[in-house]
Amino acid sequence: ALEAAIAVARQVESDPEVDSVGLGGIPNLDGIVELDAAVMDGRDLSIGAVAALQNCLSPVLVADRVRTATAHQMLVGTGAEKLAAEMGLERTSLLTDKSLKAWQERKAALEARQSIPVGHDTVGIAALDLAGNLAAATSTSGIALKLAGRVGDSPLTGSGYYADNDVGAAAATGLGEDIMKGCLCFEAVALMRSGLDPQSAAELAIRQLHRRLARTRDSVGDMALVCADRQGRIGAAANHASFQYAAAGPGQVPAVRPAPQVG
């Protein structure tokens, strides 16, 4: 399961047309692409994560090396870059003409105090293999025009991802600053542990956090979840109407589906 989750994340990381992950990802306020990624193996609850990693095309691979080859669970910034170099991963500029132009337009709009496209997304994977093993993986360049060093939910255990062979797996996407407030993925897995199916767990986890945040604020950031349990059932939900996810079983072509909107 973990190998499959990593393979999916790597495919998205290397696609310059996906402007929120890896190559061509959204630059920070300084025009630099900083990447976050994480993996979790449901067999032993082992975790690896990186944050604020620059000049690396495959942050999810570095995250997995943190898991397997260090005594730690997360490395950030120059420490993560050093590990990537030790792995033999070539330093690569992640800016593309498209992402540079988008950054320039957003920066100009910010300086002119105009409305700015928010820009945030994550590739998040919840995987189950035929042996019953569960895993989760995430990878992202974070929100547009973030401050240098900003870290979102994606590399944080329980917020951006969680996996436990005894129960299920979950991965999140959206505004990390809000997702972190509810440890959204751990909550979804906890709801599955209590007996809910993945669809019900995803919807309830999103609804609970959205309503809690809305009690003291006028607006809540976008949040979405994908979930899978040990029986092979899947679920997804979002607090907005635009979230779609892909799902596939053994030998199946992935099918893209809209997630139910709750809130």
Catalytic annotation, pick one of 68, 70, 96, 122: 122
Cα angle: 237, vertex 240, 243; to 5 degrees:
60
Mean pLDDT across 130-142 = 98
What b/e sequence results for 82-98 when a residue is b if at least 16 CB atoms lie within 10 Å of its CB, and e otherwise?
ebbeeeebeeeebbbee
Q: Return phi, psi of residue 262, to 5°.
A: -135, 165
- pLDDT at residue 258 tops 70: yes
Q: Pick one of 3.40.50.720, 3.40.50.300, 3.30.2310.20, 3.60.20.30 as the CATH number of 2-106+114-258.
A: 3.60.20.30
Percent of the chain with pLDDT over 70: 98
Indicate the helix (H) or strand (E) that contains 139.
strand 134-140
Model confidence band, residue 164 (pLDDT cutoffs 50, 70, 90): very high
Mean pLDDT over all residues of the chain?
Answer: 96
pLDDT of residue 10: 98
Model confidence band, residue 36 (pLDDT cutoffs 50, 70, 90): very high
pTM given for the model: 0.95
Model confidence band, residue 109 (pLDDT cutoffs 50, 70, 90): confident
Which residues sit opposite 210 in a β-bridge?
A: none
Question: Domain coordinates of the chain in residue numbers?
Answer: 2-106+114-258
pLDDT of residue 178: 98
140 is catalytic: no
Between the two ends of the chain, the Cα-to-Cα distance in Å is: 31
